[in-house]
Structure 1
C-alpha cells in the first residue's frame, strides 16, 4: 500500500529519512479495525519521529502520522484517537504508564490504511469534513484539554495564548472565542497576529510586549522564549497551562513570583477518548471551521514537512488521499 514513512532515524537531517513509497498491507488483530484514510494532519511529533526521538531504532521503518480521519469497512466515517494504551487500563488514558501513540510503536496514518483498536475509531460528526476532522486528534485535542479540563477558566475571563500561528495556538483561539473567553494572543509578526485576529482574538500583541492588564490563565507551547512574560502576565492565583516547549525546555522558574502570587503551573498532554468525542461535538455544534494553513495530496508530503520545519504556514498542515 502507499505510505509516507521514516526509513531510519536521522537526528541531524530528518527529511533525508522521509520516504514516499510502498509498505506491506497491515494485519488487523482481533479487537482492532482497519481505517481507510481520507485525510491526516502533520504534527511536530512526526518531525521528532524522523529524528528518532521517542522511538527505538528497531521500530523503523515507521509510517508517520499521529491522527486523521477515514472510513471503516462498512463505510462509517471515523476520527482517530491516537493514544493506544493498555486495554485493561480504566482511567484517564493520558496517565496510563503503558500508553503509546501512533508512530511510536504502531504504524501511523500517512498511508492508504491505518490499523487501530476499535475503541480508537470515533464516529465523525456529519458537520465536519474529513480535512477538518483530521486536525482534531492531536493539536485540537491538546488545546481542548488545556482549556476545558486543566485551566479552570470560566466564560468572560481573560486568556493569553503565547504564539499566534501554531496548530495548538490557533485551536486555542478558536475554542476560547467560541466558549466566551476574552482571548489575547502574542505573535512575532504582523501576519501571525492578523491571523489570530481573523480567528477571533479580541486583542493581539508583539511577543514580550507589556499587556494592558493581567490575565486569568496563560497557554504555553513555546517555553523558554516566552516563559518570563507568561509569569508576569498572570494575576494572583492565575494559571499557566503548558503542553510544549518549542523554543527550549528549561525556562527560568521565577519561584518567588510563583509562591508569592500563588500561581499554578499545570502540565497537559493530548487528551482522552471522551475528550475527543466531546471536542468533536463542540466544534460541530459551535460551527467552528478549524484553521488549515496548507492542504496537500499525501504524495506531496515532503512539501508539507518542509513548510513545518521552516515555519511557513499558519494553522494545520493536512494531507489527503
Structure 2
C-alpha cells in the first residue's frame, strides 16, 4: 500500500477540495492510501490588507510548496485561479480537473442581481478584477475590500457590513452554501469575465512516476485547453492579482473555443479587451497571441498604471 500525502490549507473550501480528490483517488487506486496534511499559509495569516498589496495569491501556496519540496507531501489541490503561471523547480501542475461553474456570483440578503442594487450600495470584494468590472457597469456603487474564507465573508454580509458580496460561484457550489443567503446570482460572462482558471482545481505534484500516474487520472482535456489559454494570456501580460485582468476560454458544444478578455484600471476609466472564437486547432498559444495583440495597443502601459493606482489606494 502506497501512502500519498496531500498538503492543504485548513479552510472549509480547501478541505472540501482536498477531501474530494482524496475520495476520487482512493475509489480508483485500491493500493493507495491518502492522508491530508494541513498547513497554515501566509495568505491565511494576513487578513487585514488587500492581496494586491501583500504579494498576491501566491501567498496561499508558498508554505504548501515548501512542504512538498521537503518531501512531507507529494500532492496539493489548489483553486487553479490562485496558482501562479510559473511553477517552482521540482513541482509540476500535473492535472487540471473538470471545471465547476466558472462564473463569479453576487450574494445578497436584499437584492437579486447587480442591476437591482440601489445607488451607493456597498459591495465587498478583494479582487481588483471584480472591482473594475463592477465600477464599469455601476460607477455609483461603493466597493469595499473583503478578505477571509468563504464563511467569514458570508457572515459579514449577513451582519450588514455589505449590501452584496462577490465570490466565485464554484466555491459556493462546492460547499453547498447558496442556501445561506437570500439571493445567489451567478454573473453572466457578458457582465463579468472571471479570473484565469476559475472553477478548476489544479493538482500540483512532485515529479515522481507513481504520483504522476495518479494525477493523470484526474486530468480533464477541455479544462486543460481552456486554462492553458487563460494562463498563457496572463503570463504574457506578466499579470497577477496586483492588476485587474479577466480572461475566460470556454470549449463550446461544437468544439470551438470562445475566448474573452478584459483588463484596465481599477476605477474602470480605461479598459481594453477582446472576444474571439477559435477552432481547437488554433488554441496553441491562443492566449499568448491575444495578449500580444493587446500589448501592441498599450496593455502593458495600462497595467503599469493600474498597479500604481492599486498601490496608492
TM-score (norm 2): 0.27
Point out the structure with the larger strand share. 1
Point out the structure with the larger helix share. 2
Greater RCO between the two (CA within 8 Å, min separation 6)?
2
